With several copies, the nearest count.
Chain A
């Protein structure tokens, strides 16, 4: 990997800006046969829950135009097995790992952060606030600034100061900038934009919802324009907060689009299901695209689409790095 593609998410330096998105790279073992995992900017885990969860019954997925609808129900082995079995394997392979956490209450988020604290091999913690909040009749944390902020604060408080905490937001909100501001204010060092968007498909054979979950999350290239918009709007408001752009990245030019909008790195999700070699290919294509545009360092491309915008939106400085607090 050339220096051209080096990037950083705050203090976290990455040799490549192309990561896997949470929940889309399996445990890492499934991708390993296809390419050297060392070529990953980072591997993001499936959101880890406190308890083992089988998730929803099948069908959990439906194909939609240029997209996928999934309602997984947050399946996973639970943090104990994750720490015993999955994380050590990634550490062994020398894979930079971003651990995604999913809680169903603020307390659960705090507990997860606590369990993870000091565990070696955690490059960053991502907080999946697109989780149903049992304390709020199952509404997603990500839809309400205060709820999202509470989840972030719980994880930030429980995590070592040197370890970046990223807030992963969903686009199903009237104003994603407000939610982003609340999360950064609550201590998020960076943002991952975006999670899937709520959609639905009906099986025209059975005349019933195609997914057991009734509605599900829309991902894939269909979603990309929404991801670009969210990254652009949030970067305009928070130009100093690092962003991982996610949503429909399938080619190097897609990655470049998110970077120009303001992302410092991109995560590939659904494209992995279509093309297990997507990450190294996107990286190669991005490298070529930067070279063709004579952009010597990726950092020079971050947010470039904002310049020379006629109208400069109000800018907000990010919070200062927090001092360690007692958890």
Chain B
């Protein structure tokens, strides 16, 4: 059962400032032991008397064996939920569920991998890099964002990766430009065999497209879509549905949390996110007459 998630009261070990983000290390042996890169944890926010019922999900930045097992998450504290998290201090308890979701599929052979991301979501790529490197893979980072604030881990990527390219629209860190300018070049230069992605939805779509054009498989984590739509993270609530077409050619609505968050990029119908495509299984044939929310 060691690949099944657990619910646990984790102890906050440290909260550090990293660039514009908070990095929180939590003692959670049962989660650390089960974790595989690409999976996430879901934290209850607001404390024992909270009025906020939706757990906030976080990709795992790093897992260590200290104190029986720790997990580190990275977040910005701009919104109420993460604002509360940022106020926690060492020794506080945090109710965590995890690890949740399907991990990144790992190559069997020591191939070349490009890890692409942006925003705090890029944090997940570092746990992945760690595992890939231990398997003898080559790891090439490509981090992109509008400006330096939105690019997490640029220095770390340079330290950890075999290569690391950083690109921002305003040139505030790395090259000036967009992912389109950089990713094809890196894929060509490194001769990579697979592309991994984690970050804003538009970024994932771009990754998928560029990888597709070069005939490379892509594995992307739809964290942002899940964050905007989901309520449980455990596959129970069925609110985080997105259209994915299967090998049989049929489009099905699948759960971003339990069937993802890592999906094959080429399977996701990116243009149809937030809709039920008319050809999806179970799509309404006519717009049904409903009074308010049918339940």
A-side residues, CB < 8 A to B, are 23-26, 30-31, 33-34, 46-47, 51-61, 63, 65-78, 104, 128, 130-132, 134, 137-140, 170, 195-196, 198, 211, 213-217, 220-221, 229, 270-277
Q: Which B residues between 1 and 20 are near A, CB-CB below 8 angstroms?
A: 1, 4-7
- Please encode chain B, from 266 to 295, with 1 for each CB lying within 8 Å of some chain A CB and 0 for all others: 000000011110001111100011111111
Given contacts A58-B241, A65-B51, A72-B239, contact A276 B284 (CB under 8 A): no
Q: Is the interface of B mostly helix, strand, loop or mixed?
A: loop
Write the chain A residue with the least CB distance to B54: A63
CB of B193, distance to nearest CB on chain A (Å): 33
Given contacts A26-B234, A61-B239, A131-B295, 8 further A-B contacts (CB under 8 A): A25-B236, A54-B241, A54-B276, A58-B242, A61-B230, A132-B288, A138-B291, A198-B293
B-side residues, CB < 8 A to A, are 1, 4-7, 44, 51-55, 97, 228-232, 234-242, 253, 258, 273-276, 280-284, 288-295
Residues of chain B within 8 A (CB-CB) of A66 are 51, 53
Residues of chain A within 8 A (CB-CB) of B238 are 23, 26, 46, 55, 60, 72, 75
Asked whether B228 lies within 8 Å of A30 as measured between CB atoms, the reply is no
Asked whether B234 lies within 8 Å of A30 as measured between CB atoms, the reply is yes
Between A and B, 19 residue pairs with Cβ closer than 8 Å are: A23-B238, A31-B236, A33-B4, A53-B282, A54-B283, A57-B275, A61-B231, A66-B53, A70-B295, A72-B238, A72-B294, A78-B282, A130-B294, A130-B295, A139-B291, A195-B295, A229-B292, A270-B53, A276-B236
Asked whether B253 lies within 8 Å of A55 as measured between CB atoms, the reply is yes
CB of B275, distance to nearest CB on chain A (Å): 5
- Residue in A74, A75, A138, A274 whose CB lies within 8 Å of B53: A274
Asked whether B292 lies within 8 Å of A214 as measured between CB atoms, the reply is yes
CB of B61, distance to nearest CB on chain A (Å): 24
Given contacts A54-B253, A54-B280, contact A220 B53 (CB under 8 A): yes
- Residue in A104, A198, A215 whose CB lies within 8 Å of B288: A104
Asked whether B239 lies within 8 Å of A60 as measured between CB atoms, the reply is yes
